[in-house]
């Protein structure tokens, strides 16, 4: 359709997106006005409290997950049949849709939902009142939000990036993609990445500085351990990505030629990207490992098997994660020696991972198993993840990788690992922590429907893809021919994908009816073992008064066994000061406006937004939030 405002033909999918967003917007606005929910929105825009920021992370991560999921269904619809012409998702449109699918899933769905769970659970697991820097926490969230929204905006202007989630140079440089499309990728990912780095810093400081008395490092729950080590991974990996994106931005805006020309080289981008990209896989997997460990212990009514081995293997995996990036570049031609070294380091990662798998199994051995929804997701994870691990070892054989490379076999492999660990982990985490987040418990029956539909759909989608790939189907290709032996497996994959979609719809319905019913649960609905189950559901703003004293691992469980309450102390520990503020919201969104100005060359807008961000720095620098806190004397009277 020709639309004068756009001054060009606008494809029907973009029009459909506009129409549906406007309809959803009107429905939401009517709901907010009718129910008078403005105060809730205003509260969440200004909040710095860890549970609320965590909730925001989960909500928006889930929304982006839905969008990326719709992309996945569009991909699968196009690939369902040979020579298919589904809607308009061929050629460049197909390139756009797999790019937004991959980028959104990794940066705007999986990572933020995990950060959300960390936000909710980590402080509660170690007996902290909040994250160490609540203001910074809000800044981190709003940066993710602004980056994600900016990235999403691209579609509405018919400018979605089409350079793959890997943004390979030289395609991503202005030489080959001079339009704003690739800029949306560069700026969107950059802004949200900055937020991720801030949140990682916050988690690290919180865990080192704000543990309850007696909560030694080797008494911490494994989700907290995984969050700590993941945060170090983020700190290093996302910084490398930020540098890469920065150089790419310079190449695009000022023609610096880091990644092309006589002195630049596109391979530099590949190195930078994968030095980030491989650890990112573990940034997604390790927190899920931590969640599964805690969930399996809780629902086996047994202590984790081999706790020190679990901690050491998380650490080893994290370290090795930085030594394997070239396995994504075996076919670049770096030489046999390099390929051999990186093949060996890659295979080595299987060892600590195997240790963890056996420890999960031994934890359940002889335990009293309860098949709740979070436990089912954890049980589904183990064999599924092992299958992804096995194809990973196959891919690590560098000579064989020349055959597998860029085929649907690789697509099958990485979905097996990421979906089994991260997505099943996030689902498990949502069911497990829903009472701590909202005070309600999700319906178990619907939870089981969700689990089985999703798990069966997942294997139905991705298992045949191994065969599709071995039969020669390249990834990032929008069609194939009749008679190539690719039809049956592709068709099965598409059915599986829609089954997963139904599973997610069941979950959505579950969330909806549970929130509507408003049946409160107590502080300890799962008969838990760790400190988060001692505080009320939903987690209150002034948790842990008085402070519990921790004398062993799983302190709450053993106290319950002995029929005692946890010992507490009146001693006051320095605790973070959480004060509402609108500055993080303004600052982060202005940064997105600034990027928008740079992308379209509206320098006046960029300068104005930049000045706004700078003003926020100044206001923040002169505001001492401790005043409000310390200003009150011990007896509650103003002392100043
Ligand atoms: C929910 C069900 C999902 C389905 C049906 C699905 C399907 C697909 C398919 C068919 C492709 C290959 C497109 C091609 O190369 O032509 C793909 C690519 C990809 N997917 Fe998924 N996916 C799903 C979930 C996820 C999740 C949860 C993640 C990560 C958290 C993810 C990350 C990726 C990435 C990174 C790519 C590569 C994109 C690129 O080549 O640039 N996907 N997906
Ligand atoms: Cu890798």
Question: For 215-238, how does the pLDDT look when each residue is reduced to its tens digit (9 = 90+)?
Answer: 999 999 999 999 999 999 999 999
- pLDDT tens track for 411-425: 999 999 999 999 999
**What per-residue confidence (pLDDT) applies to 627?**
58
**pLDDT confidence tier of residue 625, bands split at 50, 70 and 90:** low
Q: Which ligand is nearest to the CA of 324?
A: 2
CA of 354 to the centre of ligand 1 (A): 25
**pLDDT confidence tier of residue 579, bands split at 50, 70 and 90:** confident
CA of 418 to the centre of ligand 1 (A): 10
CA of 325 to the centre of ligand 2 (A): 6
Which tops the pLDDT comparison, 260 or 381? 381
d(CA 506, CA 509): 5
Mean pLDDT computed over 143-149: 97
CA of 69 to the centre of ligand 1 (A): 9
**pLDDT confidence tier of residue 574, bands split at 50, 70 and 90:** confident
CA of 94 to the centre of ligand 1 (A): 12
d(CA 286, CA 304): 16
- Inform me whether the pLDDT recorded for 630 exceeds 60: no
- Inform me whether the pLDDT recorded for 10 exceeds 50: yes
Q: Indicate the top mutation candidate among 98, 164, 461, 469 to test ligand 1's pocket, ranked by most ligand atoms within 8 A of CB.
A: 98
Phi, psi of 568 (to 5 degrees): -130, 170
* 104 closest CA partner among 68, 157, 73: 68
Do residues 327 and 343 touch, judged by C-beta distance below 8 A? yes
How far from chain centre, in Å, is Cα 22?
Answer: 27
CA of 346 to the centre of ligand 2 (A): 8
CA of 75 to the centre of ligand 2 (A): 24
Mean pLDDT computed over 271-299: 97
Torsion angle, CA of 624/584/435/126, rounded to 10 degrees? -50
Q: Indicate the top mutation candidate among 106, 385, 415 to test ligand 1's pocket, ranked by most ligand atoms within 8 A of CB.
A: 415
- pLDDT tens track for 485-494: 999 999 999 9
Residue nearest to atom 6 of ligand 1 (CA): 72
Residue nearest to atom 1 of ligand 1 (CA): 69
**What per-residue confidence (pLDDT) applies to 628?**
58
Which residues have any ligand 1 atom within 6 Å of their CB?
69, 72, 75-76, 98-99, 101-102, 105-106, 110, 164-166, 411, 415, 418-419, 422-423, 461, 475-477, 497, 500
**What per-residue confidence (pLDDT) applies to 634?**
47
Q: Which ligand is nearest to the CA of 330?
A: 2
For 318, residues 6+ apart whose C-beta sits below 8 A from its C-beta are 229, 230, 232, 233, 279, 282, 286
- Inform me whether the pLDDT recorded for 639 exceeds 80: no
Q: Which ligand is nearest to the CA of 288?
A: 1
Average pLDDT of every residue of the chain: 93
Residue nearest to atom 27 of ligand 1 (CA): 419
The reported pTM is 0.94
Least-confidence region, from 130-134, 148-152, 459-463, 538-542: 538-542
Least-confidence region, from 31-45, 96-110, 365-379: 31-45
Ligand 1 atom at minimal distance to the Cα of residue 110: 30
Ligand 1 atom at minimal distance to the Cα of residue 75: 10
Ligand 1 atom at minimal distance to the Cα of residue 164: 41
For the chain, give the percent of residues with pLDDT over 90: 87
Q: Indicate the top mutation candidate among 161, 411, 463 to test ligand 1's pocket, ranked by most ligand atoms within 8 A of CB.
A: 411
CA of 262 to the centre of ligand 1 (A): 35
CA of 245 to the centre of ligand 1 (A): 22
Ligand 1 atom at minimal distance to the Cα of residue 166: 41
Residue nearest to atom 22 of ligand 1 (CA): 72
**What per-residue confidence (pLDDT) applies to 11?**
87
97 preceded by cis ω (within 30°)? no
CA of 278 to the centre of ligand 2 (A): 4
Residue nearest to atom 20 of ligand 1 (CA): 102
CA of 370 to the centre of ligand 2 (A): 35
Q: Please tell me what DSSP assigns to residue 225.
A: H
Q: Which ligand is nearest to the CA of 274?
A: 2
Q: Which ligand is nearest to the CA of 275?
A: 2
d(CA 519, CA 441): 8
d(CA 506, CA 95): 30
Q: Which ligand is nearest to the CA of 279?
A: 2
Residue nearest to atom 28 of ligand 1 (CA): 105
**What per-residue confidence (pLDDT) applies to 557?**
94
For the chain, give the percent of residues with pLDDT over 70: 97
**What per-residue confidence (pLDDT) applies to 635?**
46
Ligand 1 atom at minimal distance to the Cα of residue 79: 10
CA of 396 to the centre of ligand 2 (A): 9
Ligand 1 atom at minimal distance to the Cα of residue 501: 1
**What per-residue confidence (pLDDT) applies to 337?**
96
**What per-residue confidence (pLDDT) applies to 462?**
97
Mean pLDDT computed over 303-323: 96
CA of 415 to the centre of ligand 1 (A): 7
Ligand 1 atom at minimal distance to the Cα of residue 477: 16
d(CA 520, CA 57): 23
Q: Which residues of 579-615 are buried (b: 16+ CB within 10 A; e: fewer)?
A: bbbebbbbbbbbbbbbbbbbbeeeeeebeebbebbee
**What per-residue confidence (pLDDT) applies to 624?**
67
Residue nearest to atom 40 of ligand 1 (CA): 164
Please state the three-class secondary structure of 145-180 as a single string: HHHHHHHHHHHHCCCCCCCCCCCCCCCCCCCCCCCH
- Inform me whether the pLDDT recorded for 555 exceeds 70: yes
Which tops the pLDDT comparison, 57 or 578? 57
Handedness of CA 320, 323, 325, 327 (dihedral sign): negative
């Amino acid at each position: 359709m020709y639309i004068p405002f756009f001054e060009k033909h606008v494809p029907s999918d973009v029009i459909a997106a506009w129409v549906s967003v406007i309809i959803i917007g009107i429905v939401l606005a009517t709901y907010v006005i009718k129910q008078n929910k403005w105060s809730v929105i205003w509260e969440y825009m200004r909040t710095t409290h860890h549970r609320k920021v965590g909730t925001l992370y989960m909500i928006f991560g889930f929304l982006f997950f839905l969008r990326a999921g719709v992309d996945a269904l569009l991909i699968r619809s196009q690939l369902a049949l040979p020579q298919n012409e589904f809607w308009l998702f061929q050629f460049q449109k197909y390139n756009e849709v797999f790019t937004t699918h991959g980028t959104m899933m990794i940066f705007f769905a999986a990572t933020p939902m995990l950060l959300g769970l960390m936000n909710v659970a980590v402080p509660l697991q170690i007996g902290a009142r909040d994250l160490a820097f609540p203001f910074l926490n809000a800044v981190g969230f709003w940066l993710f939000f602004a980056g994600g929204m900016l990235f999403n905006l691209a579609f509405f202007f018919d400018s979605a990036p089409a350079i793959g989630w890997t943004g390979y140079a030289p395609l991503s440089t202005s030489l080959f993609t001079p339009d704003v499309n690739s800029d949306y990728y560069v700026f969107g990912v950059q802004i949200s990445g900055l937020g991720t780095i801030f949140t990682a810093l916050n988690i690290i400081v919180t865990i080192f500085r704000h543990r309850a008395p007696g909560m030694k490092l080797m008494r911490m729950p494994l989700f907290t351990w995984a969050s700590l080590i993941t945060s170090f991974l983020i700190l290093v990996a996302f910084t490398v990505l930020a540098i890469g994106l920065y150089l790419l931005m310079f190449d695009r805006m000022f023609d610096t030629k880091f990644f092309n020309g006589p002195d630049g080289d596109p391979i530099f981008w590949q190195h930078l990207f994968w030095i980030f990209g491989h650890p990112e896989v573990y940034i997604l997997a390790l927190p899920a490992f931590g969640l599964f460990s805690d969930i399996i212990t809780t629902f086996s009514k047994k202590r984790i098997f081999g706790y020190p081995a679990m901690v050491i293997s998380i650490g080893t995996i994290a370290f090795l994660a930085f030594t394997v990036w070239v396995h994504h570049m075996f076919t670049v031609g770096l030489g046999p020696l390099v390929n051999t070294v990186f093949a060996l380091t890659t295979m080595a990662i299987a060892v600590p991972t195997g240790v963890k798998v056996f420890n999960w199994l031994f934890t359940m051995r002889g335990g009293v198993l309860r098949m709740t929804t979070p436990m089912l997701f954890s049980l589904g994870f183990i064999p599924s993840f092992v299958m992804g691990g096995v194809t990973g070892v196959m891919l690590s054989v560098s000579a064989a990788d020349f055959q597998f490379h860029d085929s649907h076999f690789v697509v099958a492999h990485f979905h097996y690992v990421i979906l089994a660990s991260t997505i099943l982990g996030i689902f498990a985490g949502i069911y497990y922590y829903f009472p701590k987040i909202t005070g309600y418990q999700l319906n178990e029956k619907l939870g089981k429907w969700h689990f089985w539909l999703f798990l069966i759909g997942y294997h139905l989608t991705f298992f045949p893809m191994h065969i599709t790939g071995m039969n020669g189907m390249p990834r990032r290709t929008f069609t194939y021919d009749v008679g190539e032996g690719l039809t049956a497996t592709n068709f099965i994959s598409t059915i599986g994908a829609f089954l997963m979609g139904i599973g997610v719809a069941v979950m959505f319905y579950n969330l909806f009816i549970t929130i509507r019913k408003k049946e409160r649960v107590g502080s300890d609905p799962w008969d838990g073992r760790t400190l988060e189950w001692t505080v009320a559901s939903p987690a209150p703003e002034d948790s842990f008064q008085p402070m519990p004293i921790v004398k062993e691992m799983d302190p709450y469980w053993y106290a319950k066994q002995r029929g005692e309450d946890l010992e507490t102390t009146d001693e006051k520990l320095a605790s973070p000061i959480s004060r509402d503020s609108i500055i993080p919201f303004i600052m982060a969104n202005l940064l997105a406006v600034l990027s928008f100005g740079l992308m379209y060359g509206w320098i006046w807008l960029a300068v104005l937004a930049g000045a706004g961000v700078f003003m926020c720095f100044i206001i923040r620098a002169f505001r001492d939030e401790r005043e409000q806190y310390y200003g009150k004397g011990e007896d509650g009277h103003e002392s100043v």
